[in-house]
Amino acid sequence: KYELRAIISSGVLLSLFFFAVLYNSYSRKIDMPTCVPFEKTFEKSAVKKIDDGLYEIYLVAHMWTFDPEEIEIPAGSTVDFYLTSKDIVHGFHINEEGVNMMAVPGTINKITTKFEEEGTYRFVCNEFCGTGHQNMMGKIIVK
């Protein structure tokens, strides 16, 4: 009897978490990171203009910086970030955009976000990665 109750309550909890994730991704417009099959091309940093207002950015994290460190895009641009790491696990966090991803060697993580407002968006590594961790940051200039 207790087991049944435990199973039901954990089931309820699980679906709560599930809906919390869905809620975040839809109503708050926070994009969920997705995993992309690994390819060597992503290990070379790049800022690619696909179309007007559409960019692809290949970000490479390594001790203790990001490549590229500074990115400039026009306001209203939608950006696909492809993130990987050359050495150990790093993080990638843009506070204002609700973007939060992990940079894992041998893995490509992708997130799409739109920069509506002009301004400077700082991104930081939010995964402790050694003595240079607190200096690991960059910026996206939107104008």
Q: Which stretch in 24-32, 40-48, 114-122, 126-134 sits in contact with ligand CUA by CB under 6 A? A: 126-134
Amino acid (one-letter) located at 27: S
Query: SS3 helix, strand, coil % of the chain, rounded to 5?
Result: 25, 45, 30
Paired residues of 112 in beta bridges = 80
Nearest residue (CB) to ligand CUA, 77 versus 127: 127
- In angstroms, give the least distance from the CB of 101 to ligand CUA: 12
Binders of ligand CUA among residues 70 to 99 (CB under 6 A) are 90
Distance CA 133, CA 70 (A): 18
- In angstroms, give the least distance from the CB of 26 to ligand CUA: 30
**Residue from 113, 87, 88 nearest 100 by CA:** 113
Contact positions vs ligand CUA (CB under 6 A): 64, 90, 125, 127-129, 133, 136
